[in-house]
Amino acid sequence: MLAVLALTTFAGLATGVGGAIGFFVKKTNIRLLTFLLGLSAGVMVYISFVELLASAQETLAEIYGKFNGHLVGLASFSGGMLIAMLIDRLIPEKENPHEAHGPEELHVPVKQPKSDAASAAKLRRSGLLFALAIGVHNFPEGMATFAAGINSLTLGIPIAVAVALHNIPEGITVSVPIYHATGSRKKAFMYSMVSGLAEPVGAGIAMLVLYPFLSATLLSVLFAAVAGTMVFIAFDELLPMAERWGFHHLSIYGIITGMLLMGFTLAVI
């Protein structure tokens, strides 16, 4: 249990690492970032279909029969995607963090906000909402890492690494607007760190609420739902972010590498 919580904390704190790195790195290595985002997507998609959903449907088929078991698995998988989609849709478009930012934006001189209290409050509110939006997006990722890790660290570790890789540019995405809203590097780093802590919080809630009731059926339903959530994250967040800079083939190479790496790792372990 402690190992799973440590994994989710590691993945969440990568958001803060991204915020901190942004202040020291003055230019985005867009080729490397594109490849890594594609790699994260490949790892998530491969694990979702080959391990989580497949094992969930196999167990559910043994419990309910092949047809009904597969229907329950499919419903759970679709439910996971639906939950992720609802979280995404409920966040106002203005605060929805789909647009990636580069660290070079942190080195642009900050325009001083107007001195009146209303303008200052509006800027602070915008920065807070943006960090909150990232935190809400991170929450189901923490639950996903928990669900995978509680059954097997072989699955939990690569998922945590994949989530951490995509959290690093997310940390920059949080810190850029907050830095430009407040002019404070300290606040930008703090907000990016706090938004990442939503992941271990998500894992902790999943542990407290679900662990006492865990059974073969519930665990299988949870696996299928987590698979759906991660597939949605890969296609809705990671791939669009990877495609932003126009290196389409690099993102595809990253996806293929992530899938092959994950397949080889699972075969060896």
Taking only the tens of pLDDT, the chain with its 269 residues reads 788 888 888 888 888 888 787 777 777 677 887 888 888 889 889 988 998 899 899 999 999 999 999 999 999 999 999 988 887 777 655 555 555 566 666 666 665 544 455 555 555 665 566 667 777 767 777 877 777 787 677 778 888 888 888 788 778 777 776 777 777 788 888 888 888 888 888 788 877 887 777 788 888 898 899 899 889 988 988 888 788 777 889 999 999 999 998 888 778 76
CA angle 49–50–56, rounded 5-degree value? 75
C-alpha distance from residue 127 to each of 22, 96, 130, 134 (Å): 17, 12, 5, 11
**Secondary structure letter of residue 215 according to DSSP:** -
Give the per-residue pLDDT at 117: 53
Give the per-residue pLDDT at 58: 93
Give the per-residue pLDDT at 120: 52
Q: How far apart are CA 128 and CA 150, in angstroms?
A: 32
Give the per-residue pLDDT at 259: 94
Please check whether residue 34 is in contact with residue 242, taking contact to mean a CB–CB distance below 8 angstroms.
yes
Give the per-residue pLDDT at 219: 83
Other C-beta atoms within 10 Å of 160: how many?
28
For 163-191, b/e burial (b = at least 16 CB within 10 A) is bbbbbbbbbbbbbbbbbbbbeebebbbbb
Give the per-residue pLDDT at 72: 96
Q: Is 114 helix (H, G, I), strand (E, B) or coil?
A: coil
**Secondary structure letter of residue 115 according to DSSP:** S
Give the per-residue pLDDT at 6: 87
Token output for 214: 């865990």
Give the per-residue pLDDT at 236: 86
Give the per-residue pLDDT at 91: 67
Give the per-residue pLDDT at 22: 72
C-alpha distance from residue 125 to each of 74, 112, 146, 181, 182 (Å): 40, 16, 31, 9, 10
